[in-house]
Structure 1
């Protein structure tokens, strides 16, 4: 990500352990030969093999580990550490062996998102026994509704307590957005009023904040509870608010403890919406299905972004894509292009980024096709979503350094890819009709080694455009360039790419808002509508063509980075050069909202907006 730096990889302990192993090898040779499963891969005596490795040095510890594996020394058998491949502390599996096989790390990343299926969502009418079995009763309350409740001496009676009277006489609760007040607690049962702000300003984004507040109260519970949401007369008559609240509570209440010794189970057992019978009839059952599907995709996205770079490698992203397709009932096909296949397609820009990494790149292409598409080929819309998949960004030789470089967070530089895979998961569950979706991820690492990309190198993209790389830390746009060309060759009419592309976008829009860049007013309107429906904040930014002058090179067709000013705009203008004529294109820069700095966790941003946009594309949802 240009302008925002990356985490150090931390190979020190691995280097120490390898040196110790080599030093002690002669001593332990006889002991090792006695161990079951020990073998060498050639006729050379083991000490000669070890000395051969030792004389090569350890300029790249992962390469040394690969060499060790090549000569038959299974280091993981004798030292239990986490090497940078798909094996997360598993004996007898080393880098370069069965990268696409099922592993503990794949299960860690993927299986947690499926827990959403076990949570029930109920729509209840207002009856005398509606609150039976409700442990945490949440009452959303606007400023106007609260004033009416207090001024007219009305009461909300829950658990034989008159909560309206309590709010009038003993509480400083004003109903402002973000406020909450617990008015009663008896054993496992409690009643909490949640502030919603003014009724006029209450929108989808405000609903996500209300859900965040409910999830925070939920985490205070000591055991699994059923949440009841008592919707009063003021509650909007649109079913979308129930959907957003459901989706947001499911996402916010999810606890990520995959890498902790002590596991913390989810506190949420069921969500019950309680309102009058008329509103209940208006609600469509598909709302719940869509909300759970989006929540499941968003949690997958969050866990991919939150997982460290030694777990989520390019091969792991390919493995997750394959798993999503395997569970799609045949609606998604997956094609993983290896390095040689990318070379054959001329993807010089993408492959240049991966040159310094010991891990091979994986170009992921997933295709969703509804079973109804084959009967209505003329009415099928073909769209593509592309995600930046740099699983770790060191910055290359323009290395990220300094206290504000964010190098320690550069595991999130594949946030765009995570959003795309989460979107694919949700789409596979919803199965929209009359739409064909191509999900594309150019996955790789941006590292440093003797084979890496130099500042000043010239590379050629798959459409023939030559690029002078004047900044190796502006690598994401190089991977996206070839991905855009590839997607354009699939016969799509619309492309949306999602990327943690620039630090400049964080400076412009902060941590909560994603930047939208597109020359198409129609597509901009569609994505803005989708973002409003999802409760995610997106702001359209200008594409000032004059700034493209910064991207011109004296020795190539383009430079990959401008002179610093308007960095997010010049990055988008660069990407636009690789979009085929006649295709509507939009770029989402999610560098800010991909990560919650306060909670130190991923947000899952982008999944909901992408899914809403795809569902809008065919004017309806699956039934």
Structure 2
């Protein structure tokens, strides 16, 4: 982390200590110049004409003002233009970008004047959620993954103070959001960890250590147990690694429960492609091929911390897809735990194979819903870009609720075609199904493969998160490290179930 961070709530009244900063938002409109003048007059600070002119210019939207006349020492002015391009990610992204810049400023406390909810009609469901996005942005901006840097600067203390008319409400939002973001950070730490360290066994060890403290039961099925259960799909993919395959089962059971949900996450801790080997450039991000499993762990961690009234079963098959004399091969036929056989046409389409056994296991637990998460295909990023995940389901109600949660949290989803016509593309002449279809529609045929292993009576959605789970340049909080995508989405989904 950049700072030893704390966040607290205060009333509208501003009171500054030494080395303080202030964040003030202005809504663009006809009275902007007067509002800026009145703001500076309230501090008896002189304005710099050039800076003011620059800030009022429509081409600019921010200003950093340094005061030599008292506290606050630094004022960050930010314009918000509430138009068709404004989104609920505005405050989250702004604070995620602001926080790293504070390392070069000698500030101990940053005061934030939370703008009125009424300024943003249709963009936030409540003032509570508007404040939550601010707290999320502060946490996201504070995240780093630098544990392997030999030289580290000592972390300084930094406190954010959020000023709002309802101090009690802000305090509750901060407490809740701190729990959510702690889970997001745990997921990010898992996904960003190099594969040389985060083996299947280490993944399970860290998960068990973290979740058992919150009352979550963590069962680890080792290779012997997988063999006993005839989970040959997981065993085949993980057969060439010195680190044996395993499957984690996480059980969160609150005292009262509205529903029983199964969350299934792909846990490929490294994917070389197997005998269908990837080129080096394509391997560089493959430590993150367990991001789906990381999302499941983070979601259950948050649900347990928040004591959400939803029973959750997490199922995470963990393997390394490597190469040796025991590696599974193109042309092999694998008989999965469900009894259905899989023709292997490409060993680099391994995620769907391990999920076959996991989804079958999840179905046998008779949940009310199954949702799986996987960095499954590059094809989904080709179709949608890297800022959004693909959603595959035949259940309209499940799709709507997931989509609503995605739009609210800005961890967005797009529902993809899922007609049965696509099943014909993964037919096999020697097995029940092939693990690879033609070039076109690759993300869809991957989803149709998974469908073979899910109880058709259970509502199910497959989320292909291959784009947004990996670091990208489109948000201040996704640029440098893999993102922890899906945790915020699922916490909101579970809260509203």
Give the TM-score normalised by the residue count of structure 1. 0.73
2:481 aligned with 1:601, yes or no? Answer: yes
Aligned 8 A contact 1:388 1:413 in 2: yes
CA offsets, 1:92-147, max 9 Å, x none? xxxxxxxxxxxxxxxxxxxx7xx99x7432222222x4344672312233333xx4
Q: Distance in 1 between matches of 2:78 and 2:394?
A: 41
Aligned 8 A contact 2:144 2:481 in 1: no
Shift of 1:152: 6.2
SS in structure 2 at match of 1:156: helix
What is the aligned-residue RMSD (CA, Å)? 2.5
Question: Which residue number in structure 2 is paired with residue 325 of structure 1?
Answer: 211
Of 126, 139, 158, the match for 1:269: 158
CA offsets, 1:311-341, max 9 Å, x none? 111001110111122321xx21111001111
Question: Which residue number in structure 1 is paired with residue 268 of structure 2?
Answer: 390
The within-5 A match list for 1:197-212 is 197-198=81-82, 201-212=85-96
Of 407, 415, 439, the match for 2:291: 415
CA offsets, 1:257-288, max 9 Å, x none? 2111122455562221123x2x546x364322
Q: Distance in 1 between matches of 2:186 and 2:302?
A: 10
SS in structure 1 at match of 2:237: helix
Change (3 A) 1:507 1:338: same
Of 144, 149, 155, the match for 2:32: 149
Structure 1's consecutive aligned runs of 4 or more residues displaced over 6 angstroms after TM superposition are none
Of 278, 281, 299, the match for 2:185: 299
Q: Distance in 1 between matches of 2:59 and 2:186?
A: 34
Shift of 1:170: 4.4
2:376 aligned with 1:501, yes or no? Answer: yes
Specify every segment of 5 or more residues in structure 1 that has no aligned partner in the other structure, as ranges.
Answer: 1-111, 374-378, 618-623
2:328 aligned with 1:453, yes or no? Answer: yes
Shift of 1:427: 1.7
The within-5 A match list for 1:210-221 is 210-221=94-105
SS in structure 2 at match of 1:356: coil
Shift of 1:597: 3.9
Give the TM-score normalised by the residue count of structure 2. 0.90
Q: Distance in 1 between matches of 2:193 and 2:62?
A: 32
Of 225, 228, 242, the match for 2:111: 228
Question: Which residue number in structure 1 is paired with residue 492 of structure 2?
Answer: 612
Change (3 A) 1:349 1:163: farther
2:278 aligned with 1:400, yes or no? Answer: yes
Shift of 1:518: 1.2
CA offsets, 1:157-209, max 9 Å, x none? 37542569775434365487xx4321225598311123433256533222322
Change (3 A) 1:140 1:539: farther
Instruction: Figure out how many residues of one structure are paired with residues of the other and give that number.
Output: 483
Specify every segment of 5 or more residues in structure 2 that has no aligned partner in the other structure, as ranges.
Answer: 121-125, 474-478
SS in structure 2 at match of 1:296: helix
CA offsets, 1:394-418, max 9 Å, x none? 001111126xx52111111111111
Deviates more, 1:449-458 or 1:244-253: 244-253
SS in structure 1 at match of 2:235: helix
SS in structure 1 at match of 2:289: helix
Q: Distance in 2 between matches of 1:195 and 1:479?
A: 49
SS in structure 1 at match of 2:297: helix
Change (3 A) 1:339 1:152: closer
Greater Rg over alpha carbons, structure:
1
